[in-house]
Amino acid sequence: MQRFYEVMFIVRPDVLDEDLDKLIAGFEGTVTNGGGAIRSTEKLGRRKLAYTVRKFNDGNYVLLTVDADGPLVAELERRLRVSEPVIKFLTVRMDEEEKRLNKVKAIRATRKKLSAQPAAVVEATPTPAPEPAEAAPASA
């Protein structure tokens, strides 16, 4: 069953652009040869890392969005793990995330409709003026 994944990986900063392109092409080949499909590939460029990873403070970020099944993603992660230039990677299953976001959006939309509806009803209904209080008879 094909699912939608985002794979973000960080490559060492000392890797040349040509070598980075070959590395990305190798990972794309792994996905396509395994029966998956590449939705997009984005090279996000060199960025500073939040903390030191394998004695590096910078890294080249790459984002792959793929349609693949579980065993293919496991193979891609294995290749990322054993690839020496890759210092960090993360795989996120996005179809579950999209489903969760759509659910939150639907809940917010119903809340927005409910909160807007009573406000319109209140404005349309005239409010009666308060009646003056009658004086209570004094009992003696």
Contact 128, 39 (CB under 8 A): no
Question: What pLDDT was estimated at residue 133?
Answer: 64
The tens digit of pLDDT for each residue in 77-131 reads: 999 999 999 999 999 999 888 888 899 999 999 888 888 775 545 555 566 666 7
In this prediction, residues 57-61 reach a mean pLDDT of 97
Instruction: Give the residue among 30, 31, 17, 28 at the shortest CA–CA distance from 85.
Output: 17
The tens digit of pLDDT for each residue in 16-39 reads: 999 999 999 999 999 999 999 999
In this prediction, residues 2-16 reach a mean pLDDT of 95
Q: Which fold has domain 3-96?
A: Alpha-Beta Plaits (3.30.70)
